[in-house]
Structure 1
Amino acid sequence: MKLQDKYEQLDQANKALLAVNFYNFETLSAVLKAAANRQVPIILQSTKRTIEYLGLEVTAKLARAATSQYGVEAWLHLDHAQDPDLIQRALDAGYDSVMIDASEEPIEQNREITRKVVEMAKPYGASVEAELGYIAKLGQSKDEVAFTQPDEASQFVEDTGINALAVAIGSAHGFYDKEPNLDIELLAKIHNTTPAALVLHGGSGIPDTQIQQAIRNGIRKINLATEVKSGFMNTLRDILAQSDGIDLRKEFPPAITYVQELLENKIAVISE
Protein backbone atom coordinates (compact mmCIF):
# COMPACT_ATOMS: atom_id res chain seq x y z
CA MET A 1 0.00 0.00 0.00
CA LYS A 2 1.29 3.47 -0.87
CA LEU A 3 1.66 5.86 2.04
CA GLN A 4 -0.84 8.30 0.54
CA ASP A 5 -3.41 5.49 0.43
CA LYS A 6 -2.62 4.66 4.05
CA TYR A 7 -3.29 8.30 4.93
CA GLU A 8 -6.76 8.04 3.41
CA GLN A 9 -7.40 4.89 5.39
CA LEU A 10 -6.24 6.59 8.59
CA ASP A 11 -8.46 9.58 7.92
CA GLN A 12 -11.52 7.38 7.58
CA ALA A 13 -10.67 5.70 10.89
CA ASN A 14 -9.57 8.95 12.57
CA LYS A 15 -6.19 7.42 13.44
CA ALA A 16 -2.53 8.37 13.06
CA LEU A 17 0.86 6.80 12.34
CA LEU A 18 4.02 7.33 14.32
CA ALA A 19 6.91 8.54 12.15
CA VAL A 20 10.28 7.98 13.82
CA ASN A 21 13.73 9.16 12.82
CA PHE A 22 16.52 6.58 12.85
CA TYR A 23 20.26 7.27 12.85
CA ASN A 24 22.00 3.89 12.74
CA PHE A 25 21.14 0.20 12.89
CA GLU A 26 20.54 0.33 16.64
CA THR A 27 17.87 3.05 16.52
CA LEU A 28 16.32 1.52 13.40
CA SER A 29 16.14 -1.82 15.18
CA ALA A 30 14.46 -0.22 18.19
CA VAL A 31 11.79 1.39 16.00
CA LEU A 32 10.99 -1.81 14.14
CA LYS A 33 10.99 -3.97 17.28
CA ALA A 34 8.46 -1.61 18.84
CA ALA A 35 6.24 -1.71 15.76
CA ALA A 36 6.51 -5.49 15.53
CA ASN A 37 5.65 -6.00 19.19
CA ARG A 38 2.66 -3.66 18.94
CA GLN A 39 1.73 -5.04 15.50
CA VAL A 40 1.35 -1.63 13.92
CA PRO A 41 2.66 -0.02 10.73
CA ILE A 42 5.32 2.68 11.07
CA ILE A 43 7.06 5.40 9.08
CA LEU A 44 10.86 5.29 9.12
CA GLN A 45 12.39 8.72 8.72
CA SER A 46 15.89 9.75 7.71
CA THR A 47 17.28 13.25 7.31
CA LYS A 48 20.03 14.77 5.20
CA ARG A 49 22.47 14.42 8.11
CA THR A 50 21.71 10.72 8.56
CA ILE A 51 22.15 10.17 4.84
CA GLU A 52 25.47 12.02 4.96
CA TYR A 53 26.48 9.79 7.88
CA LEU A 54 25.41 6.43 6.49
CA GLY A 55 25.29 7.10 2.76
CA LEU A 56 22.05 7.14 0.79
CA GLU A 57 22.31 3.61 -0.56
CA VAL A 58 23.11 2.15 2.86
CA THR A 59 20.30 4.16 4.51
CA ALA A 60 17.69 2.94 2.03
CA LYS A 61 18.86 -0.68 1.86
CA LEU A 62 19.36 -0.93 5.62
CA ALA A 63 15.80 0.26 6.19
CA ARG A 64 14.42 -2.18 3.63
CA ALA A 65 16.38 -5.16 4.93
CA ALA A 66 15.51 -4.47 8.56
CA THR A 67 11.83 -3.95 7.71
CA SER A 68 11.77 -7.34 6.00
CA GLN A 69 13.61 -8.98 8.90
CA TYR A 70 11.13 -7.73 11.49
CA GLY A 71 8.07 -8.33 9.30
CA VAL A 72 6.69 -4.81 9.76
CA GLU A 73 4.63 -2.73 7.35
CA ALA A 74 6.74 0.40 7.01
CA TRP A 75 7.39 3.31 4.68
CA LEU A 76 10.70 5.09 4.19
CA HIS A 77 10.43 8.88 4.35
CA LEU A 78 12.94 11.66 3.68
CA ASP A 79 12.44 14.25 6.40
CA HIS A 80 13.01 18.02 6.09
CA ALA A 81 14.80 18.02 2.75
CA GLN A 82 15.50 21.41 1.22
CA ASP A 83 17.60 20.30 -1.74
CA PRO A 84 15.66 19.04 -4.80
CA ASP A 85 18.76 17.08 -5.85
CA LEU A 86 18.71 15.09 -2.60
CA ILE A 87 15.00 14.48 -3.08
CA GLN A 88 15.60 13.18 -6.59
CA ARG A 89 18.32 10.84 -5.36
CA ALA A 90 16.08 9.59 -2.56
CA LEU A 91 13.29 8.88 -5.04
CA ASP A 92 15.75 6.99 -7.24
CA ALA A 93 16.84 5.01 -4.17
CA GLY A 94 13.27 3.89 -3.56
CA TYR A 95 11.97 6.20 -0.85
CA ASP A 96 8.19 5.95 -0.44
CA SER A 97 7.79 9.54 0.68
CA VAL A 98 9.73 12.80 0.61
CA MET A 99 9.36 16.09 2.42
CA ILE A 100 10.26 19.37 0.77
CA ASP A 101 10.69 21.97 3.49
CA ALA A 102 10.58 25.43 1.97
CA SER A 103 8.61 26.81 4.90
CA GLU A 104 11.14 29.55 5.63
CA GLU A 105 10.72 30.96 2.13
CA PRO A 106 7.92 33.38 1.16
CA ILE A 107 4.72 31.44 0.58
CA GLU A 108 4.79 31.94 -3.19
CA GLN A 109 8.28 30.49 -3.39
CA ASN A 110 7.30 27.67 -1.05
CA ARG A 111 4.39 26.91 -3.34
CA GLU A 112 6.53 26.95 -6.49
CA ILE A 113 9.28 24.72 -5.06
CA THR A 114 6.75 22.30 -3.60
CA ARG A 115 4.84 22.02 -6.86
CA LYS A 116 8.05 21.06 -8.67
CA VAL A 117 8.78 18.32 -6.11
CA VAL A 118 5.27 16.94 -6.51
CA GLU A 119 5.92 16.63 -10.24
CA MET A 120 9.26 14.94 -9.53
CA ALA A 121 7.58 12.38 -7.28
CA LYS A 122 4.71 11.46 -9.61
CA PRO A 123 6.60 8.93 -11.78
CA TYR A 124 7.64 7.10 -8.61
CA GLY A 125 4.19 7.08 -7.03
CA ALA A 126 5.77 8.62 -3.93
CA SER A 127 3.98 10.70 -1.32
CA VAL A 128 5.03 14.34 -0.88
CA GLU A 129 4.93 16.29 2.36
CA ALA A 130 5.43 20.04 2.72
CA GLU A 131 5.31 22.53 5.58
CA LEU A 132 3.36 25.77 5.97
CA GLY A 133 3.82 28.19 8.85
CA TYR A 134 6.60 28.46 11.43
CA ILE A 135 7.60 25.36 13.37
CA ALA A 136 10.78 26.22 15.27
CA LYS A 137 13.74 24.04 14.35
CA LEU A 138 16.63 23.22 16.67
CA GLY A 139 18.32 26.45 17.72
CA GLN A 140 15.48 28.66 16.53
CA SER A 141 13.28 30.76 18.79
CA LYS A 142 10.18 29.02 20.07
CA ASP A 143 8.62 32.39 20.92
CA GLU A 144 7.94 33.33 17.32
CA VAL A 145 4.38 32.65 16.25
CA ALA A 146 3.31 32.08 12.65
CA PHE A 147 0.58 29.47 12.80
CA THR A 148 -0.79 27.80 9.70
CA GLN A 149 -4.01 29.46 8.54
CA PRO A 150 -6.89 27.34 7.20
CA ASP A 151 -7.48 29.36 4.04
CA GLU A 152 -3.78 29.41 3.16
CA ALA A 153 -3.48 25.69 3.86
CA SER A 154 -6.44 24.89 1.63
CA GLN A 155 -5.10 26.97 -1.26
CA PHE A 156 -1.56 25.64 -0.80
CA VAL A 157 -2.66 22.01 -0.97
CA GLU A 158 -4.88 22.68 -3.98
CA ASP A 159 -2.12 24.54 -5.84
CA THR A 160 0.65 22.03 -5.13
CA GLY A 161 -1.08 18.65 -5.02
CA ILE A 162 0.80 17.50 -1.91
CA ASN A 163 -0.35 14.45 0.02
CA ALA A 164 0.66 15.61 3.51
CA LEU A 165 1.04 18.99 5.19
CA ALA A 166 3.05 19.76 8.32
CA VAL A 167 1.09 22.40 10.21
CA ALA A 168 2.21 24.99 12.74
CA ILE A 169 -0.20 24.79 15.66
CA GLY A 170 2.12 25.25 18.63
CA SER A 171 4.68 22.46 18.40
CA ALA A 172 8.44 22.84 17.92
CA HIS A 173 11.45 20.65 17.17
CA GLY A 174 13.73 19.65 20.04
CA PHE A 175 13.01 19.88 23.75
CA TYR A 176 10.41 22.33 25.05
CA ASP A 177 11.27 25.07 27.55
CA LYS A 178 7.72 24.85 28.86
CA GLU A 179 4.75 22.60 28.22
CA PRO A 180 3.46 23.18 24.69
CA ASN A 181 -0.14 24.15 24.14
CA LEU A 182 -1.42 22.95 20.79
CA ASP A 183 -4.15 25.02 19.16
CA ILE A 184 -6.60 22.17 18.65
CA GLU A 185 -9.39 24.48 17.48
CA LEU A 186 -7.18 25.83 14.71
CA LEU A 187 -6.15 22.28 13.78
CA ALA A 188 -9.78 21.25 13.40
CA LYS A 189 -10.43 24.18 11.09
CA ILE A 190 -7.43 23.31 8.93
CA HIS A 191 -8.57 19.69 8.78
CA ASN A 192 -12.00 20.76 7.61
CA THR A 193 -10.57 22.82 4.75
CA THR A 194 -8.12 20.39 3.13
CA PRO A 195 -7.95 16.70 2.14
CA ALA A 196 -4.18 16.50 2.83
CA ALA A 197 -2.97 14.33 5.70
CA LEU A 198 -1.95 16.72 8.48
CA VAL A 199 1.40 16.19 10.16
CA LEU A 200 2.51 17.11 13.67
CA HIS A 201 6.22 17.86 13.84
CA GLY A 202 8.02 18.16 17.18
CA GLY A 203 6.17 15.28 18.79
CA SER A 204 8.79 14.79 21.54
CA GLY A 205 7.55 16.21 24.83
CA ILE A 206 3.95 16.91 23.87
CA PRO A 207 1.58 15.64 26.60
CA ASP A 208 -0.28 12.45 25.74
CA THR A 209 -3.70 14.08 26.07
CA GLN A 210 -2.78 16.75 23.54
CA ILE A 211 -1.45 14.12 21.13
CA GLN A 212 -4.75 12.27 21.37
CA GLN A 213 -6.76 15.47 20.88
CA ALA A 214 -4.67 16.29 17.83
CA ILE A 215 -5.40 12.88 16.30
CA ARG A 216 -9.12 13.27 16.92
CA ASN A 217 -8.97 16.60 15.10
CA GLY A 218 -7.09 15.61 11.99
CA ILE A 219 -3.43 14.73 12.66
CA ARG A 220 -2.48 11.62 10.68
CA LYS A 221 1.31 11.53 11.13
CA ILE A 222 3.25 12.29 14.31
CA ASN A 223 7.00 12.90 14.02
CA LEU A 224 9.33 11.78 16.79
CA ALA A 225 13.10 12.30 16.86
CA THR A 226 14.51 14.13 19.89
CA GLU A 227 13.28 11.64 22.47
CA VAL A 228 14.82 8.81 20.46
CA LYS A 229 18.25 10.45 20.21
CA SER A 230 18.37 11.64 23.80
CA GLY A 231 16.96 8.41 25.24
CA PHE A 232 19.44 6.26 23.37
CA MET A 233 22.47 8.40 24.22
CA ASN A 234 21.58 8.97 27.88
CA THR A 235 21.04 5.26 28.41
CA LEU A 236 24.31 4.46 26.68
CA ARG A 237 26.19 7.00 28.82
CA ASP A 238 24.85 5.40 31.99
CA ILE A 239 25.88 1.94 30.79
CA LEU A 240 29.38 2.97 29.74
CA ALA A 241 29.96 4.80 33.02
CA GLN A 242 29.58 1.47 34.81
CA SER A 243 31.35 -0.75 32.31
CA ASP A 244 34.83 -1.26 30.95
CA GLY A 245 33.59 -3.56 28.20
CA ILE A 246 34.55 -3.04 24.58
CA ASP A 247 32.00 -5.33 22.90
CA LEU A 248 29.49 -3.03 21.23
CA ARG A 249 27.12 -5.96 20.82
CA LYS A 250 26.81 -6.16 24.61
CA GLU A 251 26.83 -2.42 25.39
CA PHE A 252 24.25 -1.24 22.83
CA PRO A 253 21.25 -3.56 23.56
CA PRO A 254 20.07 -1.78 26.77
CA ALA A 255 19.92 1.51 24.84
CA ILE A 256 18.00 -0.21 22.06
CA THR A 257 15.58 -1.63 24.61
CA TYR A 258 15.05 1.80 26.18
CA VAL A 259 14.07 3.32 22.83
CA GLN A 260 11.91 0.32 21.97
CA GLU A 261 9.94 0.66 25.22
CA LEU A 262 9.65 4.42 24.75
CA LEU A 263 8.15 3.88 21.30
CA GLU A 264 5.84 1.12 22.44
CA ASN A 265 4.42 3.54 24.99
CA LYS A 266 4.02 6.22 22.29
CA ILE A 267 2.26 3.72 20.04
CA ALA A 268 -0.10 2.83 22.88
CA VAL A 269 -0.94 6.51 23.32
CA ILE A 270 -1.78 7.13 19.68
CA SER A 271 -3.71 3.85 19.41
CA GLU A 272 -6.20 4.70 22.17
Structure 2
Amino acid sequence: MTAAVTAELVTAARAGGHGVAAFNVITLEHAEAIITAAEAAGLPVILQVSENAVAFHGGRPEPLLAAVAALAHAAGVPAAVHLDHVESEDLLRAGVAAGVRSVMFDASKLPYEQNVAATARMVRWAHARDVWVEAELGEVGGKDGAHAPGVRTEPAEAAAFTAATGVDALAVAVGSSHAMTERTARLDHELIARLRDAVPVPLVLHGSSGVPDEELRAAVAAGMAKVNIGTALNIAFTGAVRERLGADPAVVDPRRYLRAAREAMAGAAGHLLEVVAGRPTGGGQGAGRTA
Protein backbone atom coordinates (compact mmCIF):
# COMPACT_ATOMS: atom_id res chain seq x y z
CA MET A 1 0.00 0.00 0.00
CA THR A 2 1.25 3.49 -0.84
CA ALA A 3 1.84 5.64 2.23
CA ALA A 4 -1.04 7.92 3.12
CA VAL A 5 -0.80 11.63 3.83
CA THR A 6 -1.71 13.20 7.15
CA ALA A 7 -4.09 15.70 5.58
CA GLU A 8 -6.32 12.93 4.22
CA LEU A 9 -6.34 10.91 7.44
CA VAL A 10 -7.17 13.92 9.63
CA THR A 11 -9.82 15.21 7.22
CA ALA A 12 -11.48 11.79 7.13
CA ALA A 13 -11.39 11.51 10.92
CA ARG A 14 -12.97 14.91 11.36
CA ALA A 15 -15.67 14.22 8.77
CA GLY A 16 -16.43 10.86 10.37
CA GLY A 17 -16.66 12.21 13.90
CA HIS A 18 -13.83 10.02 15.18
CA GLY A 19 -10.13 10.51 15.81
CA VAL A 20 -6.89 9.36 14.21
CA ALA A 21 -3.99 8.41 16.47
CA ALA A 22 -0.56 9.91 15.84
CA PHE A 23 2.33 8.15 17.61
CA ASN A 24 5.83 9.51 18.11
CA VAL A 25 8.70 7.42 16.76
CA ILE A 26 12.12 7.38 18.40
CA THR A 27 13.56 4.04 17.28
CA LEU A 28 12.84 1.59 14.48
CA GLU A 29 11.15 -0.61 17.09
CA HIS A 30 8.67 2.19 17.80
CA ALA A 31 7.70 2.40 14.14
CA GLU A 32 7.44 -1.37 13.74
CA ALA A 33 5.24 -1.63 16.83
CA ILE A 34 2.93 1.15 15.63
CA ILE A 35 2.47 -0.42 12.20
CA THR A 36 1.90 -3.87 13.74
CA ALA A 37 -0.79 -2.44 16.02
CA ALA A 38 -2.49 -0.48 13.25
CA GLU A 39 -2.57 -3.49 10.94
CA ALA A 40 -4.00 -5.70 13.69
CA ALA A 41 -6.70 -3.10 14.40
CA GLY A 42 -7.33 -2.35 10.74
CA LEU A 43 -7.04 1.37 11.44
CA PRO A 44 -5.12 4.23 9.82
CA VAL A 45 -2.27 5.75 11.76
CA ILE A 46 0.19 8.65 11.71
CA LEU A 47 3.87 8.07 12.54
CA GLN A 48 5.50 11.23 13.89
CA VAL A 49 9.19 12.10 14.05
CA SER A 50 9.91 15.02 16.35
CA GLU A 51 12.76 17.47 16.36
CA ASN A 52 13.93 15.87 19.62
CA ALA A 53 14.01 12.44 17.96
CA VAL A 54 16.05 13.84 15.08
CA ALA A 55 18.47 15.38 17.59
CA PHE A 56 18.81 11.98 19.31
CA HIS A 57 19.85 10.50 15.96
CA GLY A 58 22.64 13.01 15.46
CA GLY A 59 20.59 15.80 13.93
CA ARG A 60 20.19 14.01 10.59
CA PRO A 61 16.50 13.54 9.74
CA GLU A 62 16.93 11.54 6.53
CA PRO A 63 17.86 8.05 7.90
CA LEU A 64 15.01 7.84 10.42
CA LEU A 65 12.49 9.39 8.03
CA ALA A 66 13.53 6.95 5.29
CA ALA A 67 13.05 3.97 7.61
CA VAL A 68 9.67 5.19 8.83
CA ALA A 69 8.53 5.99 5.29
CA ALA A 70 9.53 2.50 4.11
CA LEU A 71 7.39 0.94 6.85
CA ALA A 72 4.49 3.25 6.04
CA HIS A 73 4.67 2.35 2.34
CA ALA A 74 4.64 -1.37 3.15
CA ALA A 75 1.85 -1.17 5.73
CA GLY A 76 -1.43 -2.96 5.16
CA VAL A 77 -3.36 0.08 6.41
CA PRO A 78 -3.11 3.80 5.55
CA ALA A 79 -0.04 5.13 7.38
CA ALA A 80 1.31 8.67 7.12
CA VAL A 81 4.66 10.17 8.13
CA HIS A 82 4.66 13.52 9.90
CA LEU A 83 7.31 15.85 11.38
CA ASP A 84 6.30 16.85 14.91
CA HIS A 85 7.18 19.87 17.10
CA VAL A 86 9.66 21.35 14.65
CA GLU A 87 11.07 24.66 15.85
CA SER A 88 13.97 24.75 13.37
CA GLU A 89 13.05 26.13 9.97
CA ASP A 90 16.10 24.36 8.52
CA LEU A 91 14.83 21.01 9.82
CA LEU A 92 11.38 21.69 8.41
CA ARG A 93 12.87 22.33 4.99
CA ALA A 94 15.11 19.25 5.25
CA GLY A 95 12.15 17.08 6.18
CA VAL A 96 10.13 18.30 3.23
CA ALA A 97 13.13 17.71 0.95
CA ALA A 98 13.22 14.15 2.32
CA GLY A 99 9.62 13.60 1.28
CA VAL A 100 7.54 14.50 4.32
CA ARG A 101 4.12 15.87 3.36
CA SER A 102 3.02 17.23 6.74
CA VAL A 103 4.69 19.10 9.57
CA MET A 104 3.88 20.57 12.95
CA PHE A 105 5.70 23.91 13.07
CA ASP A 106 6.06 24.94 16.70
CA ALA A 107 6.55 28.64 17.42
CA SER A 108 4.38 28.46 20.55
CA LYS A 109 7.18 29.58 22.86
CA LEU A 110 7.24 32.96 21.12
CA PRO A 111 4.96 35.86 22.07
CA TYR A 112 1.65 35.74 20.19
CA GLU A 113 2.49 38.24 17.43
CA GLN A 114 5.85 36.59 16.76
CA ASN A 115 4.21 33.16 16.74
CA VAL A 116 1.71 34.42 14.14
CA ALA A 117 4.41 35.95 11.95
CA ALA A 118 6.73 32.92 12.06
CA THR A 119 3.92 30.43 11.54
CA ALA A 120 2.37 32.38 8.65
CA ARG A 121 5.76 32.58 6.93
CA MET A 122 6.33 28.82 7.18
CA VAL A 123 2.76 28.04 6.14
CA ARG A 124 3.23 30.07 2.94
CA TRP A 125 6.48 28.23 2.24
CA ALA A 126 4.95 24.82 2.95
CA HIS A 127 1.71 25.37 1.04
CA ALA A 128 3.72 26.34 -2.03
CA ARG A 129 5.10 22.78 -1.86
CA ASP A 130 1.77 21.08 -1.10
CA VAL A 131 2.72 20.41 2.53
CA TRP A 132 0.09 20.36 5.30
CA VAL A 133 0.91 22.40 8.41
CA GLU A 134 -0.18 21.99 12.03
CA ALA A 135 0.65 24.66 14.59
CA GLU A 136 0.15 25.26 18.30
CA LEU A 137 -1.42 28.25 19.98
CA GLY A 138 -0.29 28.75 23.54
CA GLU A 139 2.17 26.33 25.04
CA VAL A 140 0.57 23.04 26.03
CA GLY A 141 1.62 22.20 29.57
CA GLY A 142 4.50 19.91 30.32
CA LYS A 143 7.26 21.15 28.03
CA ASP A 144 9.08 22.51 31.05
CA GLY A 145 8.63 19.22 32.87
CA ALA A 146 5.72 20.44 34.98
CA HIS A 147 2.04 19.65 34.60
CA ALA A 148 0.30 22.94 33.90
CA PRO A 149 -3.44 22.28 34.20
CA GLY A 150 -4.34 25.96 34.09
CA VAL A 151 -3.16 26.53 30.51
CA ARG A 152 -6.10 26.99 28.13
CA THR A 153 -6.64 28.22 24.56
CA GLU A 154 -9.25 30.93 24.08
CA PRO A 155 -11.64 30.25 21.15
CA ALA A 156 -11.56 33.83 19.86
CA GLU A 157 -7.77 33.88 19.84
CA ALA A 158 -7.69 30.46 18.17
CA ALA A 159 -9.98 31.72 15.40
CA ALA A 160 -7.85 34.83 14.89
CA PHE A 161 -4.62 32.81 14.86
CA THR A 162 -5.98 30.35 12.31
CA ALA A 163 -7.17 33.15 10.03
CA ALA A 164 -3.88 35.05 10.30
CA THR A 165 -1.60 32.07 9.67
CA GLY A 166 -3.54 29.85 7.29
CA VAL A 167 -2.66 26.69 9.23
CA ASP A 168 -4.34 23.41 8.31
CA ALA A 169 -4.77 22.12 11.88
CA LEU A 170 -4.43 23.61 15.34
CA ALA A 171 -3.11 22.06 18.54
CA VAL A 172 -4.88 23.61 21.52
CA ALA A 173 -4.42 23.59 25.28
CA VAL A 174 -7.45 22.06 26.99
CA GLY A 175 -5.99 20.38 30.08
CA SER A 176 -3.51 17.78 28.81
CA SER A 177 0.23 17.95 29.37
CA HIS A 178 3.27 16.58 27.59
CA ALA A 179 5.37 13.78 29.10
CA MET A 180 2.86 12.67 31.74
CA THR A 181 3.53 9.16 33.10
CA GLU A 182 0.24 8.87 35.01
CA ARG A 183 -3.16 8.98 33.28
CA THR A 184 -4.70 11.62 35.52
CA ALA A 185 -5.38 14.56 33.18
CA ARG A 186 -8.91 15.96 33.07
CA LEU A 187 -9.87 17.81 29.91
CA ASP A 188 -12.21 20.74 29.41
CA HIS A 189 -14.68 19.14 27.01
CA GLU A 190 -16.94 22.19 26.88
CA LEU A 191 -13.95 24.25 25.76
CA ILE A 192 -13.08 21.65 23.09
CA ALA A 193 -16.60 22.00 21.67
CA ARG A 194 -16.32 25.80 21.68
CA LEU A 195 -12.96 25.61 19.91
CA ARG A 196 -14.41 23.18 17.35
CA ASP A 197 -17.16 25.68 16.58
CA ALA A 198 -14.79 28.66 16.48
CA VAL A 199 -12.01 27.21 14.33
CA PRO A 200 -12.51 26.05 10.72
CA VAL A 201 -9.63 23.54 10.81
CA PRO A 202 -9.22 20.20 12.64
CA LEU A 203 -8.20 20.30 16.30
CA VAL A 204 -5.22 18.36 17.65
CA LEU A 205 -4.77 17.05 21.19
CA HIS A 206 -1.16 16.96 22.40
CA GLY A 207 -0.01 15.24 25.58
CA SER A 208 -2.57 12.45 25.26
CA SER A 209 -0.55 9.80 27.10
CA GLY A 210 -1.69 11.31 30.40
CA VAL A 211 -5.38 11.27 29.47
CA PRO A 212 -7.59 8.33 30.60
CA ASP A 213 -9.55 6.35 28.03
CA GLU A 214 -12.95 7.87 28.70
CA GLU A 215 -11.50 11.38 28.68
CA LEU A 216 -9.97 10.65 25.27
CA ARG A 217 -13.27 9.31 23.96
CA ALA A 218 -15.08 12.39 25.19
CA ALA A 219 -12.44 14.70 23.69
CA VAL A 220 -12.85 13.10 20.27
CA ALA A 221 -16.63 13.29 20.57
CA ALA A 222 -16.31 16.99 21.43
CA GLY A 223 -14.19 17.75 18.38
CA MET A 224 -10.59 16.48 18.56
CA ALA A 225 -9.58 14.93 15.23
CA LYS A 226 -5.85 14.13 15.67
CA VAL A 227 -4.62 12.68 18.96
CA ASN A 228 -0.86 12.74 19.63
CA ILE A 229 0.67 9.99 21.78
CA GLY A 230 4.32 9.59 22.72
CA THR A 231 5.15 8.85 26.35
CA ALA A 232 2.72 5.90 26.42
CA LEU A 233 4.94 3.93 24.09
CA ASN A 234 8.08 4.83 26.02
CA ILE A 235 6.51 3.61 29.26
CA ALA A 236 5.65 0.30 27.61
CA PHE A 237 9.11 0.03 26.02
CA THR A 238 11.04 0.77 29.18
CA GLY A 239 8.87 -1.41 31.38
CA ALA A 240 9.33 -4.41 29.11
CA VAL A 241 13.11 -3.93 28.94
CA ARG A 242 13.38 -3.61 32.73
CA GLU A 243 11.30 -6.75 33.22
CA ARG A 244 13.26 -8.78 30.66
CA LEU A 245 16.67 -7.77 32.00
CA GLY A 246 15.54 -8.23 35.59
CA ALA A 247 14.41 -11.77 34.82
CA ASP A 248 17.70 -12.65 33.15
CA PRO A 249 20.60 -10.28 33.96
CA ALA A 250 22.94 -12.37 31.79
CA VAL A 251 21.17 -11.31 28.58
CA VAL A 252 23.47 -9.36 26.25
CA ASP A 253 21.78 -9.82 22.86
CA PRO A 254 19.61 -6.68 22.42
CA ARG A 255 17.17 -8.62 20.26
CA ARG A 256 16.12 -10.54 23.36
CA TYR A 257 14.83 -7.44 25.14
CA LEU A 258 13.99 -5.21 22.18
CA ARG A 259 11.56 -7.86 20.95
CA ALA A 260 9.76 -7.65 24.29
CA ALA A 261 9.80 -3.85 24.11
CA ARG A 262 8.37 -3.87 20.59
CA GLU A 263 5.58 -6.25 21.60
CA ALA A 264 4.72 -4.11 24.64
CA MET A 265 4.56 -0.96 22.53
CA ALA A 266 2.34 -2.70 19.98
CA GLY A 267 -0.05 -3.65 22.77
CA ALA A 268 -0.19 -0.10 24.12
CA ALA A 269 -0.58 1.38 20.65
CA GLY A 270 -3.31 -1.09 19.71
CA HIS A 271 -5.37 -0.21 22.76
CA LEU A 272 -5.10 3.51 22.12
CA LEU A 273 -5.86 3.17 18.42
CA GLU A 274 -9.17 1.56 19.37
CA VAL A 275 -9.95 4.23 21.97
CA VAL A 276 -9.22 7.14 19.63
CA ALA A 277 -11.26 5.51 16.86
CA GLY A 278 -14.21 5.24 19.24
CA ARG A 279 -14.29 1.45 19.29
CA PRO A 280 -15.12 -0.52 22.45
CA THR A 281 -12.08 -2.08 24.12
CA GLY A 282 -12.25 -5.38 25.91
CA GLY A 283 -9.79 -4.55 28.67
CA GLY A 284 -11.33 -1.26 29.79
CA GLN A 285 -9.19 1.32 31.52
CA GLY A 286 -6.94 -1.31 33.03
CA ALA A 287 -5.72 -2.32 29.58
CA GLY A 288 -4.42 1.18 29.10
CA ARG A 289 -2.45 1.63 32.29
CA THR A 290 0.78 1.73 30.33
CA ALA A 291 -0.69 3.90 27.60
Under TM normalisation by the shorter chain, which class is it? Answer: over 0.9
Q: Give the percent of matched residue pairs that are identical in Structure 1 and Structure 2.
A: 31
Selected match of 2:218 from 185, 188, 213: 213
The corresponding residue for 2:64 is: 59
Match of 1:22 in 2: 25
SS in 2 for 1:142: coil
Contact 1:88–1:120 (8 Å) recurs in 2: no
Secondary structure of the 1:204 match is helix
Counterpart in the other structure of 1:252: 258
Structure 1 position 177, deviation (Å): 6.7
- The Cα of 1:118 is off from its aligned counterpart by 0.5
Are positions 1:13 and 2:16 aligned together? yes
Instruction: Work out which of the residue numbers 156, 160, 172 in structure 2 matches 1:167.
Output: 172
Among 84, 105, 108, the residue aligned to 1:103: 108
Residues 141-190 of structure 1: CA distance to partner in whole angstroms, max 9, x if unpaired? 32463311111111111111111100000010012678222111011001
What's the counterpart of residue 188 of structure 2? Answer: 183
Does the CA-based 8 Å contact 1:2-1:126 persist in structure 2?
A: no
Measure the CA separation in 1 of the matches of 2:180 and 2:11. 31
1:153, 1:111 → 2: CA distance?
11
Match of 1:265 among 245, 249, 271: 271
Name the aligned partner's letter for residue 118 of structure 2: I
Where do residues 128-147 of structure 1 align in structure 2 (5 Å cutoff)?
128-143=133-148, 145-147=150-152
Please tell me the root mean square deviation across aligned C-alpha atoms, in Å. Answer: 1.6
Distance change (3 Å), C-alpha of 1:143 and 1:25: closer
Distance in 1 between the 2:53 and 2:258 partners? Answer: 19
**Aligned twin of 1:118:** 123
1:235 lines up with 2:240 in the alignment:
yes
TM-score, length of structure 1 as denominator length: 0.94
Check conservation: 2:33, 2:266, Cα contact below 8 A. yes
Aligned residues: 272
Matched residues in 2 for 1:221 and 1:138: separation? 19
What residue number does 1:33 align with?
A: 36
Confirm or deny: 8 A CA contact 2:205 2:227 kept in the other structure: yes
**Aligned partner of 1:96: which letter?**
R
For 1:197, the equivalent position in structure 2 comes to: 202
**Offset from partner CA, 1:72-100 (integer Å, 9 cap, x none):** 31111111111111111111111121111
Q: Note the residue ranges of structure 1 that are not aligned, 5 or more in a row.
A: none
What is the deviation of 1:205? 2.3
The Cα of 1:124 is off from its aligned counterpart by: 2.5
Indicate if the aligned counterparts of 1:80 and 1:99 stay in contact, CA closer than 8 A: yes
Over 3 Å counting, the alpha-carbon distance change for 1:189 and 1:179 in structure 2 is same
Give the conservation status (yes or no) of the 8 Å contact 1:34–1:260.
Answer: yes
Q: Hey, what's the Cα distance between the residues in 2 that align with 1:61 and 1:36?
A: 20
State whether residues 49 and 65 of structure 2, in contact with CA within 8 Å, keep that contact through their aligned partners in structure 1: no
* One-letter code aligned to 2:185: P
